[in-house]
Amino acid sequence: MHRAAEGNWVTGEKTRMISELNHLGQPVGFEVPNWSKRPLPPKEPIQGRYCQIVPLDPNLHAADLHHANSEDKDGRMWSYIPTGPFPDFATYLVTMKGWLQQDWCLYAIIDQTKGTASGVAFYMSVEPGAGTIEIGVMYSPRLQRTTAGTEAMYLLMRRAFEELGYRRYVWKTVSIQAAERLGFQFEGTFRQAEVQKGRNRDTAWFSILDREWPSLAAAFVRWLKPENFDRNGQQRRSLAQLRDQEK
């Protein structure tokens, strides 16, 4: 087969998709040799340096999470999430138990410095046959913009790519700056994708592919090393700087 570049219009810009031409001269995707259906994500803990990721258990984690979420006084963390904010713990507990009835793999993120749950992460839209998996997160103010929060995202990516062998890792978010910081590539915006809390939502799609993961992983590992932070916990080199060095 011959290599060919097929144009694809996305958000007004023409991107290039590398494909091959079959015997009819038609563009087809590249071969994926020895591909097999990937396993579903396990409900097993992941131990990091700054955080631990464990299966979500309302009896163990709901109180801690509700308390951590209560630090968000104006409800900012819930603006782009279908549920919340919650008027009381009982309502939050009922909602969390409802999450567990979904076809999701839910985890609590435990901050090692405090020993309490401060965020929720979940794999969703898992397609083992295609090797695609989507991540969703609900970070309390305690976890936002922290080393533990970044490490949690890295650990979940590592599980998907290295432990389970998935090919594509998706994040649908309005947090464009956060996605780009973590190494996600912007794919486009789904216009009028949902109605949330009575309002239209346009959703941006970001992804990381398996062939992109090795250099991203190396940058994460270097960024997370204790020597990359000063005595005040400030980073010496950013993820973007370290990614550039890995290219």
Does residue 173 sit in the same domain as residue 231? yes
Separation of alpha carbons 152 and 11, rounded Å: 31
Q: Which residues of the chain have pLDDT under 70?
A: 1-18
Separation of alpha carbons 65 and 117, rounded Å: 6
Does residue 119 sit in the same domain as residue 71? yes
Neighbours of 144 (CB within 10 A): 16
pLDDT at 4: 45
Does residue 24 sit in the same domain as residue 69? no
Q: In what order do the strands lie in the sheet with 27-28?
A: 2-10, 13-21, 27-28
Structural domain containing residue 18:
1-31
The CATH number given to whatever domain includes residue 183 is 3.40.630.30
pLDDT at 18: 58
Separation of alpha carbons 247 and 243, rounded Å: 7
pLDDT at 2: 46
Does residue 191 sit in the same domain as residue 228? yes
The pTM of this model reads: 0.90
